[in-house]
Amino acid sequence: MHRRSRSFAFVILALSAALAPARPVQEKPLPAKAPAENIDGPPVVSAKAWAVADGKTGKVLWGSKEHEPLAIASTTKIMTAYIVLRLAAEDAKVLDEVVTFSEAADKTPGSSSDLKAGEKVPVRDLLYGLLLPSGNDAATAFAEHFGKRFKGDGKADDAVARFVAEMNRTAQALKMGDTKYLDPHGLSKNVASARDLLALTFAALKNPTFAKYVRTRRHTCEVIDADGKKREVTWGNTNKLLDIEGYEGVKTGTTTAAGSCLVSSGRYESDHLLVVVLGCTSNDSRYADARNLYRWAWRERGHGSKVK
């Protein structure tokens, strides 16, 4: 066949294909609709897991996936502070001990109390640096300072490893069966369930000093460097619920693995609740989730239309 003839045949075939009726597109069927909203249930939240407990008894009242171990980010520091304050309850002089920041503490990444290697600060002040700006550096400094007072776990014998081993022993003693700590600050993938965090928070809040720290919105103190020079530092609390009357703490947490987390304490008249939300989609959503759960829970407990 000549080249011109082959070209003509190709054109005819192309036209035939273009003019042929189009094959019907088979659309995938739509998925079945979810059941209608249950208007009597808890609010819809972004959190992967949540739980609500009675603040007076510690009893868990409601939850969703509350037993599921999830990354907990800086809510880890509740346990770090709990251990330090337990030592202080045994010996009040612990709060006056001076912590000297090491290079390792100074270089701890993430959220910071902004202290420098060689600077000195009393334990009573550094607890604010741990709990308000969520200082990862402060958590490292505490583990280094106190770790040697605890026995190791057989895997490592440095101060930080000993401190973390004590965190895990304490979790076991509090029956926090879904919890595993790998560090004192939460940069590793420490895990716990919402239910476990309620148990820890209930225990920690029995200590009035802990309760005072976590409800503080801002704290200023002096630190001293290696040359004896003083400077003033001010720490603001990362927990935005404290800007609303009735909320009293407790601790935020945010990492890529954990999402946005919040352990909180709130009161309405004489009613005290604890709420944990884990794995929220943003920092703003963790506060919205927690507030919605508080309002719903208080209504469920008989406060009715008074809760707006």
Q: Mind telling me the catalytic residues?
A: 74, 77, 134
Helix (H) or strand (E) holding 32: none
Using N-to-C axis directions, what is the helix angle for 136-146 and 77-90, rounded to 10°?
40
**If DSSP codes are grouped into helix, strand and coil, which group holds residue 261?**
strand
Cβ distance 55 to 272 under 8 Å?
Answer: yes
* Rounded distance between C-alpha atoms, residue 247 and residue 150, angstroms: 34
**DSSP label of 42:** P
**Nearest residue to 205 via CA among 303, 281, 275, 106:** 275
Residues 60, 180, 209, 266: is their CA dihedral positive or negative? negative
